[in-house]
Amino acid sequence: MKIERIPRDRSEREKEQLQAQKTYWQDVNRRMVSLRDSARELYSFQNPFNDRVITSSDSSTLTGSAMRQTSPQTKEFVVKQIAQADRFLSPPLDESFTVEAGAYTFDSGAEHISFDFKGGSLKEFVDALNRRGKGKIEASFVTVQSGKKSLLVESKITGAENNLIFSGAALDLALKSGVLEQQIAMQDVAITLLIGAGEEDASLAVVDNDSLKVSATGDASIAFPDNTVVSQGLTIFFETAVKVLPTEPPPNVEPPPGPSIPKTGSVTFNGIVIESAPSSVPIPEWKPPELPERIDDMNVLSLTFSDGTAIELAPIEDASDFTRTSFQIPDSEIDKTVVSLDIANKNTHRDVSIRRVQIMDPNDPVNYKPVNPVSVAQDAVVSMDGISVSRATNTIDDLLPGVTITVKKPSETPVRITIEADRETIKNAIISFVGNYNRVMAEINVLTRNDDRIVQELSYLSEEEQEAMRDRMGAFAGDSTLTQYKNAVQNAVTSPYPTATGTEMLAKYGIGADMRMSGGSAGYDPSRLRGYLEIDEKKLDEALEMNLAGLQQLFGFDSNGDLIVDSGVAYALESLTRPYVETGGLIFIRTATIDSRIKADEQRIATLDKQLAEKEAALRMQYSQMENAYNRMEQMSNSLENFSRQNSNGGR
């Protein structure tokens, strides 16, 4: 059977060789794919030449990041203040302090936290709030005195408009624990003029020095802040002044002269002139015009609500100096939204002025101030090149197109940020490209040549990797596919390419097959003839600093102006490699051919295994038959011996 198995063992060895070849081709394919990808990275839309990086003269004060295609520029910033959130601390509390049961509500900007607490210790309440705070509103303890702890309640949302507001039982707790105390706060109403509907002469209402003046017979409105909803006790404060105009004497009006009547004509007959009678026009009796009626009406102010209703305010005082007045909106108007304060000056001899309009809502949570504010909600205020801007957060992404800056602390001196190309990323991409290129060349050199020096030259490989390389050394010796690819890519990296300033080569930028520094050894080195690339780092750094555009165009360049890259080292290598590694490419065909041969060998091995099994079974049967025949012959021989022995004994 050992002799019979020789064809089967030969097929098994051929199958193993084919599987090894397939592995080698797959390894080459992976190396080529890495080279193709790193080449494409250097000229594609996402190439690192368009990446931007921001350097700050004081990174502890201000840092930033920039998107691709952002214009290189330098800006100077002064951080006047950073954005903060409300953080309120209570006085020291005894450990026996308890929190009453109730519905606790906290608001900060758009965040609304509301939950029912069954009552318990301060720690239990803090745990309940933090579970529901969503990381936006939190509470904690601070031991400010031995045996006592202060309650710290804080919002995580920065910005002047994102105040931390306590409502319901939360407000009671804040007052009881000393986090807040009540105060009377006024909300100013900006003098924003709305000319009354149908007003013909807009000059009758003018704003001057934060004061609205409505001349006689004029009308105007002052817009109230959005969502000014009437609650119990809501009071309007304002100052008014009245200027009484002098009464002018009536003008001396003469009666009209009446119509002009032309003279009538005459007739002459035989020297006698006969005059016509004069024309006559009946003229009505003239009466002088009546003087305009004087109107004196101090009910000039009213409030208009969003539902179209309005209420009049009390009459104003007839005083030339500004007089402070208040008006509490009646409870009948609760829940209505105030739209405007209207001034309808029907007086014919008075100019009315109004200023310092304020709203006081005793139920507004803003009327409670923190006792010990660790920080208060405020916007970040930054000056960029002398222009002051404010934002609710310390991360500002809408000041410069494609740029995000992060402020960290106020600064007394300007901080300069510079937006420039990310040269470090570009350099790493080029090094990765050269590394992938050299690994492909090393793989091809090992597979196509049976020379141990090739493996020895790969000093960056570990001993295990070098042994693996020796196992495949010369596996594709004489293979034209790999040899042609090697020659093509070698020619691609050493050829000149067009750029905007002329024809250039990689060697100009410190990348080439032999980049030994001047003055160094120039002796014969066979490893430098195997197609590997080297990098003169100093020369490359100079190119990245001084001629970045030229280096980018050398890797990928639009030579005909159609906005599509059609030239360059990276473009050429990607174009050369693509037919080898794409689906249906040369390596795919090679591995598919090997797969079909492996399959044929497996079928042949299966057939031979079946034949060997049948052969072995036949031989075993023949052996069994032979052994049976032998046993029968041996039994017959023994029988004959016994018969002969018996006959011999009987003859005696």
191 and 338 co-located in one domain: yes
103 and 130 co-located in one domain: yes
Could you tell me which residue, 195 or 449, shows the higher pLDDT?
A: 449
β-bridge partners, 374: none
330 and 467 co-located in one domain: no
Residue 595 maps to a domain: no
Predicted local distance difference test score (pLDDT) of residue 23: 92
Phi-psi region of 227 (alpha: psi -120 to 50; beta: other; left: phi over 0): left
- Give the range among 263-272, 328-337, 369-378, 461-470 with minimum mean pLDDT: 263-272
Predicted local distance difference test score (pLDDT) of residue 271: 76
**Both tokens of residue 164?**
């931390």
Report, as an integer, the average pLDDT of 60-80.
92
pLDDT higher than 70, residue 529: no
Beta strands in 394-493 (DSSP E): 395-400, 403-407, 415-421
Residue 163 maps to a domain: yes
Using one digit for the tens of pLDDT, what is the confidence trace for 594-632? Answer: 899 889 888 888 888 888 888 888 888 888 889 888 888
- How do 73-81 and 120-121 pair as beta strands? unpaired
- Give the range among 269-278, 307-316, 440-449 with minimum mean pLDDT: 269-278
Predicted local distance difference test score (pLDDT) of residue 199: 47
* N residues, the chain: 652
pLDDT band at residue 172 under the 50/70/90 scheme: very high
Residue 613 maps to a domain: no
| DSSP conformation class of 568 | S
Predicted local distance difference test score (pLDDT) of residue 519: 42
Residue 602 maps to a domain: no
Residue 578 maps to a domain: yes
Give burial (CB, 10 Å; 0-12/13-18/19+) of 11: buried
Report, as an integer, the average pLDDT of 481-502.
92
Taking all residues of the chain, what is their mean pLDDT, rounded to a whole number? 88
Task: Determine the residue type at 277.
Answer: A
Residue 626 maps to a domain: no
Could you tell me which residue, 519 or 28, shows the higher pLDDT?
A: 28
Spacing of C-alpha 299 from chain mean position = 56
Could you tell me which residue, 183 or 71, shows the higher pLDDT?
A: 71
pLDDT higher than 80, residue 194: no
345 and 211 co-located in one domain: yes
109 and 75 co-located in one domain: no
d(CA 401, CA 67): 9
Residue 336 maps to a domain: yes
| DSSP conformation class of 559 | S
Task: Determine the residue type at 472.
Answer: R
Using one digit for the tens of pLDDT, what is the confidence trace for 233-252? Answer: 889 999 999 999 887 776 67
Predicted local distance difference test score (pLDDT) of residue 233: 84
Render the burial of 553-570: b for 16+ CB within 10 Å, e for the rest.
bbbbbbeeeeeebebbbb
103 and 234 co-located in one domain: no
pLDDT higher than 90, residue 637: no
pTM above 0.75, yes or no: no
- Tally of domains within the chain: 4
465 and 546 co-located in one domain: yes
Q: What is the CA radius of gyration of the chain?
A: 51
303 and 440 co-located in one domain: no
Predicted local distance difference test score (pLDDT) of residue 651: 55
191 and 223 co-located in one domain: yes
Q: What is the CATH number of the domain that holds 300?
A: 2.60.120.430
Task: Determine the residue type at 32.
Answer: M
Residue 615 maps to a domain: no
- Give the range among 33-37, 118-122, 269-273, 527-531 with minimum mean pLDDT: 527-531
431 and 483 co-located in one domain: yes
Of 150, 144, 152, nearest in space to 97 by CA: 150
171 and 100 co-located in one domain: yes
Helix or strand holding residue 321 (H, E):
none
Q: Considering 587, 612, 631, which residue would you say is the last residue of a domain? A: 587
448 and 556 co-located in one domain: yes
- Give the range among 80-94, 158-172, 292-306, 638-652 with minimum mean pLDDT: 638-652
Domain residue limits at 582: 19-47+424-517+527-587
Spacing of C-alpha 464 from chain mean position = 45
